[in-house]
């Protein structure tokens, strides 16, 4: 939405815009403006008018000044007793209380879900939005479908009276395709009026000296502003007001690429709500000390995420006293809780305080002097990003909950066949969870040890519930269960 349709302009309005850009040190973008055809010139004028050039140039200056200053931060692990763990069997009673509270809130229409779905499947060899990807399940469900079916099952479990509004954040490249996918799939059985699409913002790309780059004559090079752009995008799109009108008070947010995500997770929502938290995060134990994942910890005594690249291998290998457990073990999985009050009333003032992060990238652009297209082989420019966790240091009451990775986290990042965080591992992890659900209900799965293609639709069971009728039965290993009454037994 940054580029308006052909805006007509007068010589006065053009002169005023040129002056604004010149005063911000960005006058170079108008070189060659007079040679553009009318349509291109109109679109370019519209795009330039839509950029708050003073503000974004300030973002660049502040971000690059702050970049590299992080060295003096005092980093410490989370204190041992400061967060709860669903891995601790002693907490089974508490977990039941959290879940009951989460289901109560869902039943009262107080819970909504934000899906961060800006990514394309480019690394997966697909130009479609990542949520359209089929990881190879018997059902051939896409990530979007799996997640929508979990929402439907929760609505059903809460007595069929509940509605869980679903807010879907797309980016420029994925917006139209995502909305078309939902429409074609009839919103995966959800009601169209319960789904709200909104777009992640974009920011101009800069060279290292802070000049805005053009991707071609008459077009600024822009890039999505990072998943932390969700906060501003929720505000400007009207999404927060929409939730307020519906009486929502609690929001669960997650990333599209996790096939195991418990959408609107009642246990997590209930835990955070009972703690009176304004923000919460799920974490999973790291696979190994050197797994490249950000870790939730304390930075200058405030909550924060320390990236894998920021801590030394000595720090990464530290263990807690008397146990083999890593001190920095709270792997961040982009799975968060917020109160609507926090998003609507606290975050706007906080956002003014946190700087963008600097990402040095290879950016194709036009040299405004020569008009030549520059295709760089090494990073030549800067994209500015915010991260979802930039708010953590400012949170007064934070709720961190550790959960089992094999139950809640299997990200899809890499191309088929890469062996890690790829379609095959996602498929394996989801099917293995279905086997565990059936076994926990007292069933035996034929050939369970050889990874059968055993899938239970989320419409049948969200988290292992509702499978009591399987007790004592031996089930055919390769099957898709869409109706608990017609299960194939041996």
**Top-confidence residue, 71 or 280:** 280
The lowest-confidence range among 109-113, 249-253, 287-291, 440-444 is: 287-291
Between the two ends of the chain, the Cα-to-Cα distance in Å is 56
Residues near 184 by beta carbon (within 8 Å), at least 6 away in sequence: none
- In this predicted structure, which of 21-30, 39-48, 120-129 has the lowest mean pLDDT? 120-129
What's the pLDDT tens digit per position in 207-250?
999 999 999 999 999 998 988 999 999 999 999 999 999 999 99
If you average pLDDT over residues 328-354, what whole number do you get? 94
Joined together, the tokens standing for residue 158 give 């809460």
pTM over 0.85: yes
Say whether pLDDT at 5 is over 80: no
Reported confidence tier of residue 4, pLDDT bands at 50, 70, 90:
very low
Beta carbons of 174 and 117 less than 8 angstroms apart: yes
Average pLDDT over residues 317-327: 87
3-state class of 297 per DSSP? Answer: strand
DSSP letter (8 states) at residue 368: T
Residues 59-100: tens digit of each pLDDT:
999 999 877 666 678 999 998 778 999 998 888 899 999 999
Q: So what's the pLDDT on residue 2? A: 45
| Both structure tokens of 4 | 């308006």
Q: Rounded to an integer, what distance in angstroms lies between the CA atom of residue 45 and that of residue 3?
A: 9
Q: Is the CA virtual torsion 466, 470, 476, 482 positive or negative?
A: negative
DSSP state of 420: S
466: left (phi over 0), alpha (psi -120 to 50) or beta: left
**What is the rounded CA–CA span in Å between residue 423 and residue 28?**
45
User: By three-state DSSP, how is residue 484 classified?
Assistant: helix
How high is the pLDDT of residue 8? 74
């Amino acid at each position: 939405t940054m580029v308006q349709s052909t805006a007509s302009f007068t010589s006065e309005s053009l002169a005023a815009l040129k002056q604004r850009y010149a005063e911000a040190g960005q006058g170079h973008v108008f070189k060659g403006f007079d040679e553009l055809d009318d349509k291109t010139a109109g679109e370019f004028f519209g795009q330039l008018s839509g950029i708050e050039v003073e503000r974004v140039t300030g973002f660049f200056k502040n971000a690059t000044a702050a970049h590299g200053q992080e060295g003096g931060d005092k980093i410490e692990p989370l204190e041992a007793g400061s967060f709860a763990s669903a891995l601790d069997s002693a907490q089974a009673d508490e977990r039941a209380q959290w879940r009951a509270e989460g289901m109560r809130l869902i039943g009262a229409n107080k819970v909504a879900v934000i899906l961060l779905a800006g990514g394309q499947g480019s690394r997966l060899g697909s130009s479609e939005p990542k949520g359209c990807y089929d990881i190879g399940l018997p059902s051939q469900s896409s990530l979007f479908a799996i997640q929508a079916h979990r929402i439907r099952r929760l609505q059903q479990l809460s007595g069929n009276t509940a509605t869980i509004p679903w807010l879907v954040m797309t980016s420029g490249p994925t917006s139209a395709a995502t909305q078309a996918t939902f429409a074609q799939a009839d919103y995966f059985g959800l009601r169209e009026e319960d789904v709200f699409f909104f777009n992640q913002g974009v920011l101009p790309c800069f060279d290292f000296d802070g000049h805005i780059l053009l991707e071609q004559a008459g077009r600024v090079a822009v890039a999505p502003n990072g998943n932390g752009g969700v906060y501003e995008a929720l505000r400007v799109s009207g999404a927060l007001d929409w939730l307020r009108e519906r009486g929502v008070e609690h929001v669960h947010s997650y990333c599209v690429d996790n096939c195991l995500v418990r959408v609107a997770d009642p246990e997590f929502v209930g835990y955070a709500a009972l703690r009176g938290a304004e923000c919460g995060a799920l974490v999973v134990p790291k696979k190994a000390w050197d797994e490249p994942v950000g870790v939730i910890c304390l930075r200058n005594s405030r909550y924060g995420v320390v990236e894998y690249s920021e801590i030394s291998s000595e720090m990464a290998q530290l263990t807690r006293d008397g146990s083999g457990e890593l001190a920095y073990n709270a792997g961040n999985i982009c799975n968060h809780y917020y109160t609507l009050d926090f998003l609507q009333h606290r975050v706007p003032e906080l956002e003014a305080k946190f700087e963008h992060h600097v990402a040095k990238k290879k950016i194709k652009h036009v040299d405004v002097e020569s008009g030549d297209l520059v295709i760089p082989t090494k990073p030549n420019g800067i994209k500015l990003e915010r991260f979802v966790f930039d708010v953590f240091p400012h949170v007064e009451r934070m709720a961190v909950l550790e959960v089992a990775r094999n139950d809640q986290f299997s990200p899809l990042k890499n191309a088929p066949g890469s062996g890690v965080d790829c379609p095959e591992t996602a498929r394996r992890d989801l099917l293995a969870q279905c086997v565990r659900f059936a076994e926990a209900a007292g069933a035996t799965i034929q050939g369970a040890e050889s990874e059968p293609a055993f899938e239970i639709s989320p419409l049948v069971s969200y988290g292992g519930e509702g499978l009591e009728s399987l007790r004592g039965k031996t089930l055919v290993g390769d099957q898709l269960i869409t109706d608990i009454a017609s299960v194939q037994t041996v």
